[in-house]
Amino acid sequence: MTTKQAIQTIQRTFDINHIFAYRVFSLADKSNLLDDSARIIAEKPKPFLKWVGGKRQLLEQFRLTKLYPPEFFDPTRNSYFEPFVGGGAVFFDLLPERGYLSDLNRELVITYNVIKNNVDELIRSLKEHKNDKEYFLKVRSQDTNKLSDIAIASRFIYLNRTCFNGLYRVNSQGKFNVPFGKYSNPQICDEQNLRNVSNALSGVEIKHQDYKEVLKKAKKGDYIYFDPPYYPVSKTASFTSYTSESFLDKEQIELRDVFVELHNRGCFVMLSNSDTPFINKIYSGINGVRITKVYAGRAINSKGSGRGKITEVLVTNY
């Protein structure tokens, strides 16, 4: 059996995408390929954060379009880029061996790198946290400029697990301001998953930078997934406070220009956004680029009354 055939066998047997199948193949004991693949797949890491705008519920919709992941992307030769990584739902679904993740949220990026490089110390620190309101408020008020990277990561995961709805929101000074979530028994330290995440990140570079930096590295044949802060469906639906920067018309147009530049370079480019006239307009009429609608059951408001079938767009150049 050739490598290609073995990857296809893994992909079909376990009904997984070809990018993850390649990782499984490269890690598996070749003398016991399918049994060992099953073991590796069972240890697949999950996203370690709850993230607003997280793409976890949308992955099935993406798959149904047959555009995800791009069939002709070759993970044995090319790299995956996710420049607005957030909770990384797509990264954790694909688990490419060679990947470049980045985000403008500094503490988030520190957290990824601490999991990658110092998972034992992080686990030790996470085990010390308490799920009570007074303690939560004390941790929330810490000045992160004075903390070590381990303490920043530990605080970041702790707040994400215990705050209201796992939201991430900062005020205009960049200070985290989500209230205590009152969960009876939140899992603050999922030790096994953190170790699996740490292994999965070993060949991956994670940087604190603007998404435009992707232009410096991406080459023909690479796969880039853009999941920017969504363009607001209405004024009240606006949710752009992952960082203290805003991401509105001007920023969306700049992103479209970066998309087109990567398209011209021969990359596989995929972008998700809200299904609004503005987004449809700025991606229309570009040769080779198409807009596909997908259904999303998004829930970011507290009462849950905004839940339902909202459409979103998937813009691809393939």
Ligand X SMILES: C[S@@+](CC[C@H](N)C(=O)[O-])C[C@H]1O[C@@H](n2cnc3c(N)ncnc32)[C@H](O)[C@@H]1O
- What residues line the site for ligand X (CB under 6 A)? 51, 53-55, 83-84, 86-90, 103-105, 210-211, 227-229, 242-243, 245, 247
Q: What is 151-203 written as a DSSP string?
A: HHHHHHHHHHHHBGGG---B-TTS-B-PPB---SS--S--HHHHHHHHHHTTT
Q: Among residues 49 and 189, whose Cβ is nearest to ligand X?
A: 49
289 neighbors 264 (Cβ within 8 angstroms): no
Give the span between the Cα atoms of 161 and 186, in whole angstroms: 6
Q: Among residues 28 and 104, whose Cβ is nearest to ligand X?
A: 104
User: Which residues fall within 8 angstroms of residue 90, CB to CB, at 6 or more apart?
Assistant: 55, 59, 62, 82, 225, 227
* Residue labelled with tokens 């016991």: 32
CB of 251 to ligand X, least distance (A): 7
CB of 96 to ligand X, least distance (A): 15
Give the span between the Cα atoms of 140 and 129, in whole angstroms: 12
Q: Among residues 73 and 247, whose Cβ is nearest to ligand X?
A: 247
Q: Which residue is nearest to ligand X (CB)?
A: 86
Q: Among residues 140 and 298, whose Cβ is nearest to ligand X?
A: 298
Q: Among residues 51 and 259, whose Cβ is nearest to ligand X?
A: 51
CB of 60 to ligand X, least distance (A): 14
CB of 8 to ligand X, least distance (A): 28
Quick one: DSSP state of residue 122? Answer: H
CB of 107 to ligand X, least distance (A): 10
